[in-house]
Amino acid sequence: MADHSMSEPNRRDFLFLATGAAGAVAGAAAVWPLISQMLPDASTIAAGAPVEVDLAPIGEGKAITLKWRGKPIFVRHRTKAEIEAAKKDDPEIKIDPEPDAKRVKAFEGKAQEQWIVVYGNCTHLGCVPTGFAGDYNGWYCPCHGSHYDSAGRIRKGPAPKNLFIPDYAFQSATKIKIG
Amino acid sequence: MSEHHSTYVPKTGIERWLDARLPIIRLTHDSAVSYPVPRNLNYWWTFGGILMFMLVAQIVTGVVLVMHYTPHVDFAFSSVEHIMRDVNYGWLMRYAHANGASMFFIAVYIHIFRGMYYGSYKAPREVLWILGVVIFLLMMATAFMGYVLPWGQMSFWGATVITNLFSAIPVIGDPIVTWLWGGYSVDNPTLNRFFSLHYLLPFMIFGVVILHVWALHHVGQNNPAGVEVKNYAKDTIPFTPFATVKDLFAMVCFMILFAWFVFYHPNFLGHADNYIHADPLKTPAHIVPEWYFLPFYGILRAIPDKLGGVVAMFASIAVLAFLPWLDTSKIKSGRYRPTFKIFFWIFVVVSVLLGYTGSQPTDKVVLSLGGRTVLDMVGFAQILTAMYFAYFFVVLPLLGLFEKPKAVPASIADAVLGESKK
Amino acid sequence: MMIKSSRPLMAALAVASLAFIGTPALASGGTEHPPAQKWSFSGPFGTFDRAQLQRGFKVYKEVCAACHGLEKLSFRNLYQPGGPGFTEGQVKTLAKEYKVKDGPNESGEMFERPGRPADRFPKPFANDEAAKAANNGAVPPDFSVIAKARTYERGFPMWLIDIVTQYQEQGVDYITGILTGYGAPPHGEKIEDGLHWNRYFPGNKIAMANPLVALFDDAGKAQDANFYTDGTPVTREQVAKDVAAFLMWAAEPKMEERKQTGAKVILWLIVLAGLLYFTKKRIWARLGDAH
């Protein structure tokens, strides 16, 4: 079975290359649907449409937890004292420095400092922190002991980042749209 | 293939290191590269590779579908529609899997008939052949349970009818059926266990396929001439590149047929009734199994006795396992057996017609003379069933004793030379 | 040689592998087969006629929806590619017309709210028993996949030819047939109370009264000539075809994507098969045999 007939090497090589390339393209094209099917499907994406949240029922010093795209979102109505304390601590934030003003959004040019809207998952490993708890009376994550202040900023513990703020905007003074 | 020694030579240090510990590259090289194949194999021999491709394609698309399917009577049908509508390329996965089952059976039937024509079941390939029959049985069980999963009308009534076959067994029949169902009828427990087994069996098939290929590589392939390899240099060629490229070409041609159904006619091989949610209170007017079961279904309905029908149906498959000993001829290839050839083609036609009877209503008239029914579908199926079994129990045993075969070439190389002269 | 010995085998196996196929859901007795219609979506390059789907949706919504659900579909499907081509805004407005059950709220009550694009079409009846009670004991079937769940026997050799011609519009032809097949029973036929005569329904006796009486008078004249806003003439056949086309899309919303992908895949496979054929020939030429 010696490999004879080595004539016309160019045409032969081209044929083999073209065949191999066409086969490789076919194989790659067949792989894409297999990967793509694991991405969020159309119903999941549709169910993750933006939601509107009415803030009126949330009294001062209270907070609610709502579920959006399968994750908890904390909406907290801060008291004047909490806001003052958080602002005063701005220079103290060491782990993920961010002023209190950056943790809130404005409506018609006016900062809505009383409203804190954050994802309710600890930035360490995703546990849900307990509200009105911890050394700073913001949130405290029982999993690995991360302490957040009332603006959701990490103050102590293993979490590397402040609680993430979802995309949201004020529709009116008492209504936000998340997403 | 005791004469076939390993020709693998590790080239790098890493290969040498691995070869001394786990000679997997050597195994691959010996069985897929240097493995000697008879040089006269025709395209009917490419279906083994095609079947391997189909098995992998079914497992891959199946694993994907399971990521989105819900095995529960209340959600199964909806989850299949969810796959069709919402999941990215879900329609492709499902249609490829559903039509893939049919393609798998088309390929396996060609593979089986090829083996029967060229006498591939004869010594020393009996175990290889029986392993093939085992694979065929596992395939049938897998396909049947898979068809139940969408929980449409055909799923439900197919499951009901087939599981009820076991009630024909005397005394323990009914307890067995209850055990299969996990209840008093086909219901959620049945769907759940069928799902579990439908996922398990393909891996068992894979295991038996490994044995099948092992047996094949041990005894070497049969070939159209039906004579064994005598001189490796003259009679065989290395698997790669010769068989590899030929198999690939055939595989891609087969994929065109597959794609035709998947993309252009995805529901042709299915039943419209399976797009109706299962309803335990209403049987569809005309229930039939998937096309690949029809010949056996035809045999089942040919026998007017419940137990007899079930026995005949299982016997029609089991008889294949005894083929090596029922065929008394010393000649392997049908090419050199003129009388066998005729009976073989009659057998093929009988199998097709049995499938036809399985698809038709039992009271349909096949032949009538002067307004009087001479033959209805059951009668027709009975004649065909008799012919089916006669092939195994009468024709093959006797033919070997009385048939005058043509001259068989002395070697594969001679067979090839003889052909090129023609 | 190969060709010589394999031709009969090939032919027989081709027949063997295909001869079993085609035993449709509705075995028809003496019932007529519905005539085959022309559909924009048939064939390998078929696409849906957007305007027709929009008209069909209007017919569904105003005539069928009171009894027949569309529970596998969401409003958002109406603006996805390959569909009727409504805009997202139109669908949002449409969804708001529907009351969707949601909840429970803070007090544990279920409540109704306006629909959103992500919602599924609400069911016309709370459950099958309610549907039966309202419909003379019969449950009006859901329409999500009805166009694939209905067919009629094609018979030999048509079903074989269908593989090549890709005819697979039995379902829509049947739906069109049913909607246009109502009439007086032939002389001597008795029709029981609560049943209606239909040329194309298996057994001819159908429980559903002609649904199109809402749109046409006895002479077949449209009650409202401006039922369609795109100027399409309002005739029985047109309405039947439009709603059938809409139901085909509802049953197979990815059909366009499927056929378009198919053309690319098959073309590519043919190219690959051609290349492999020549590669094979070239490699086997090394043997110097007759292969």
Concatenating the DSSP letter of every residue in B153-167 gives HHHHHHHHHHHHGGG
Is residue C9, in this structure, part of any structural domain at all? no
The contacts of residue A30 (CB under 8 Å, 6+ apart) are none
Whether residue B92 and residue A33 make contact (CB cut-off 8 A), yes or no, is yes
Give pLDDT tens digits for C199-215.
Answer: 999 999 999 999 999 89
At C219, the pLDDT band (50, 70, 90 cuts) reads confident
Write the DSSP symbol of residue B274. G
Mutation site for A-interface testing, chosen from C286, C287, C291 by largest number of A Cβ within 10 Å: C286
C279 shares its domain with C211: no
d(C-alpha C47, C-alpha C39), whole Å: 9
C246 shares its domain with C273: no
C283 shares its domain with C175: no
B100 token code pair: 């893939």
- Judged against a pLDDT cut of 80, whether residue C7 lies above it is answered with no
- Around Cβ A23, how many Cβ atoms within 10 Å? 16
What confidence score (pLDDT) does residue C148 get?
97
Q: Which of A33, A34, A42 sits opposite B86 (nearest CB)?
A: A42
A21 shares its domain with A90: no
- Judged against a pLDDT cut of 90, whether residue C120 lies above it is answered with yes
- Does residue C23 sit at the B interface (CB-CB below 8 Å)? yes
**Burial degree of C126 (CB within 10 A; 0-12, 13-18, 19+):** exposed
A77 token code pair: 């109505």
Mutation site for C-interface testing, chosen from A5, A65, A177 by largest number of C Cβ within 10 Å: A5
**Paired residues of B365 in beta bridges:** B376
Closest-CA residue of C relative to B296 is: C20
Whether residue B275 and residue C27 make contact (CB cut-off 8 A), yes or no, is no
What confidence score (pLDDT) does residue A112 get?
95
- Residue type at B179? W
**Secondary structure (3-state) at A170:** strand
Whether residue B249 and residue C276 make contact (CB cut-off 8 A), yes or no, is yes
The average pLDDT across C239-253 equals: 98
pTM of the complete model: 0.92
Residue numbers of the domain that contains C228:
20-73+120-253
Smallest CA-to-CA distance from C56 within C241, C230, C209, C254 is with C241
C263 shares its domain with C140: no
Residue numbers of the domain that contains A6:
1-39
A138 shares its domain with A171: yes
C180 shares its domain with C249: yes
C128 shares its domain with C269: no
Count of alpha carbons within 13 angstroms of residue B198, beta-carbon side: 23
Assign residue B11 a region (left: φ > 0; alpha: ψ between -120 and 50; beta: otherwise): alpha
Q: Is the peptide bond before B324 cis (omega within 30 degrees of 0)?
A: no
C177 shares its domain with C139: yes
Which residues 114-143 of chain C have a CB within 8 Å of chain B?
Answer: 141
Is residue C104, in this structure, part of any structural domain at all? no
A83 shares its domain with A135: yes
What confidence score (pLDDT) does residue C138 get?
87
At C189, the pLDDT band (50, 70, 90 cuts) reads confident
**Burial degree of B352 (CB within 10 A; 0-12, 13-18, 19+):** buried
Is the Cβ–Cβ distance between A134 and A147 less than 8 Å?
yes
C155 shares its domain with C276: no
**Burial degree of C87 (CB within 10 A; 0-12, 13-18, 19+):** exposed
Whether residue C277 and residue B249 make contact (CB cut-off 8 A), yes or no, is yes
What confidence score (pLDDT) does residue C14 get?
46
The average pLDDT across C71-93 equals: 97
**How far C233 CA sits from the closest chain B CA (Å)?**
32
Q: Which residues of C touch A18 (CB under 8 A)?
A: 275
The average pLDDT across C123-142 equals: 92
Whether residue C19 and residue B352 make contact (CB cut-off 8 A), yes or no, is yes
A167 shares its domain with A87: yes
Task: Tally C-beta pairs within 8 A across B and C.
Answer: 166
Q: Which residues of C touch A47 (CB under 8 A)?
A: 118
A106 shares its domain with A61: yes
Smallest CA-to-CA distance from B261 within C262, C171, C253 is with C262
Is residue C96, in this structure, part of any structural domain at all? no
| Ordered structural domains, chain B, with CATH | 1-34 (no CATH), 43-421 (1.20.810.10)
Per-residue confidence in pLDDT tens, chain B, 422 aa: 444 678 899 999 999 999 999 999 999 999 999 999 999 999 999 999 999 999 999 999 999 999 999 999 999 999 999 999 999 999 999 999 999 999 999 999 999 999 999 999 999 999 999 999 999 999 999 999 999 999 999 999 999 999 999 999 999 999 999 999 999 999 999 999 999 999 999 999 999 999 999 999 999 999 999 999 999 999 999 999 999 999 999 999 999 999 999 999 999 999 999 999 999 999 998 889 999 999 999 999 999 999 999 999 999 999 999 999 999 999 999 999 999 999 999 999 999 999 999 999 888 899 988 888 889 999 999 999 999 999 999 999 999 999 999 999 999 999 988 776 55
- Does residue A30 sit at the B interface (CB-CB below 8 Å)? no
What confidence score (pLDDT) does residue C220 get?
84
C122 token code pair: 């609400």
Q: Among B12-26, C11-25, C28-42, name the most confident range.
A: B12-26
Q: How many domains does chain A have?
A: 2
A3 shares its domain with A63: no
Per-residue confidence in pLDDT tens, chain A, 179 aa: 444 444 455 666 899 999 999 999 999 999 999 999 999 999 999 999 999 999 999 999 999 999 999 999 999 999 999 999 999 999 999 999 999 999 999 999 999 999 999 999 999 999 999 999 999 999 999 999 999 999 999 999 999 999 999 999 999 999 999 99
Q: Which of A1, A23, A41 sits opposite B88 (nearest CB)?
A: A41
Q: Which residues of B touch A23 (CB under 8 A)?
A: 248
Query: E strands within B248-380?
Result: 365-369, 372-376
Subunits with 3+ Cβ pairs within 8 Å of A are B, C
Can you say whether the dihedral through the CA atoms of C181, C187, C192, C194 is positive or negative?
A: positive
Is residue C177, in this structure, part of any structural domain at all? yes
B270 token code pair: 């299915």
Which residues 219-278 of chain C have a CB within 8 Å of chain B?
Answer: 251, 253-254, 257-259, 261-263, 265-266, 269-270, 272-273, 276-277
C129 shares its domain with C164: yes
Q: Which residue has the tokens 């025709």?
A: B42
Q: Which residues of B touch C22 (CB under 8 A)?
A: 268, 359
**How far C223 CA sits from the closest chain B CA (Å)?**
34
A139 shares its domain with A119: yes
**Secondary structure (3-state) at B215:** helix
Q: Is the peptide bond before C157 cis (omega within 30 degrees of 0)?
A: yes
Is residue C4, in this structure, part of any structural domain at all? no
Instruction: Choose, from A4, A77, A144, A147, the residue flagged as catalytic.
Output: A144
Q: Which residues of C touch A25 (CB under 8 A)?
A: 268
Closest-CA residue of C relative to B355 is: C20
Count of alpha carbons within 13 angstroms of residue C204, beta-carbon side: 14
Q: Which of C117, C268, C278 sits opposite A26 (nearest CB)?
A: C268
- Does residue C279 sit at the A interface (CB-CB below 8 Å)? yes
The average pLDDT across C266-287 equals: 96
**How far B122 CA sits from the closest chain A CA (Å)?**
29
Is residue C276, in this structure, part of any structural domain at all? yes
A23 shares its domain with A81: no
- Judged against a pLDDT cut of 70, whether residue C2 lies above it is answered with no
Whether residue C269 and residue A23 make contact (CB cut-off 8 A), yes or no, is no
Smallest CA-to-CA distance from B329 within B81, B123, B36, B171 is with B123
Q: Which of A5, A22, A23 sits opposite C285 (nearest CB)?
A: A5
Q: How many domains does chain C have?
A: 2
Using CA atoms, how far residue A96 sits from A100, A118, A156, B208, in Å, is 12, 15, 11, 59
At C194, the pLDDT band (50, 70, 90 cuts) reads confident
B162 token code pair: 């087939």
Closest-CA residue of A relative to B87 is: A41
- Does residue C268 sit at the A interface (CB-CB below 8 Å)? yes
What confidence score (pLDDT) does residue B421 get?
58
**How far B244 CA sits from the closest chain C CA (Å)?**
9
CATH number, domain of C158, equals 1.10.760.10
**Paired residues of A115 in beta bridges:** A77
A73 shares its domain with A11: no
Write the DSSP symbol of residue A165. P
Smallest CA-to-CA distance from B384 within B329, B334, B347, B338 is with B347
What confidence score (pLDDT) does residue B417 get?
84
Contacts of residues C125-132 at CB distance under 8 Å and 24 or more positions apart, as own/partner, are C125/C69, C131/C67
C197 shares its domain with C211: yes
Q: Which of B106, B237, B249 sits opposite C273 (nearest CB)?
A: B249
CA B134 from centroid of its chain's CA atoms: 10
C157 shares its domain with C221: yes
Whether residue A42 and residue B85 make contact (CB cut-off 8 A), yes or no, is yes
Q: Which of A34, A41, A43 sits opposite B60 (nearest CB)?
A: A34
Told to judge if A124 belongs to the known catalytic residues of this protein, a careful annotator would answer: no
**Secondary structure (3-state) at C243:** helix
User: Is 0.85 exceeded by the ipTM?
Assistant: yes
- Does residue C263 sit at the A interface (CB-CB below 8 Å)? no
Is the Cβ–Cβ distance between C289 and B39 less than 8 Å?
yes
A132 shares its domain with A61: yes
A32 shares its domain with A106: no
Q: Which residue has the tokens 């005791």?
A: B2
The average pLDDT across C78-107 equals: 94
Q: Which residues of A touch B88 (CB under 8 A)?
A: 33, 36-37, 39, 41-42
Q: Which residues of C touch A15 (CB under 8 A)?
A: 275, 278-279, 282
Whether residue C72 and residue B416 make contact (CB cut-off 8 A), yes or no, is no
- Which helix (H) or strand (E) segment holds residue B314: the answer is helix B306-318
Q: Which of B113, B245, B252 sits opposite C272 (nearest CB)?
A: B252
**How far A29 CA sits from the closest chain C CA (Å)?**
9
What confidence score (pLDDT) does residue A9 get?
55
A143 shares its domain with A88: yes
C40 shares its domain with C170: yes
Q: Which of C146, C253, C269 sits opposite B252 (nearest CB)?
A: C269
Count of alpha carbons within 13 angstroms of residue A40, beta-carbon side: 9
- Residue type at B160? T
Which residues 71-130 of chain B have a CB within 8 Å of chain A?
Answer: 82, 85-90, 92-93
Query: φ and ψ at A176, to 5 degrees?
Result: -120, 155
Query: φ and ψ at C160, to 5 degrees?
Result: -70, -45
At C30, the pLDDT band (50, 70, 90 cuts) reads low
Is residue C221, in this structure, part of any structural domain at all? yes
What confidence score (pLDDT) does residue B420 get?
65
The edge-to-edge listing of strands for the beta sheet with A115-119 is A63-68, A71-77, A115-119
Nearest-10 crossing angle of helices C236-251, C50-59: 100
Q: Which residues of A touch C118 (CB under 8 A)?
A: 43, 46-47, 49
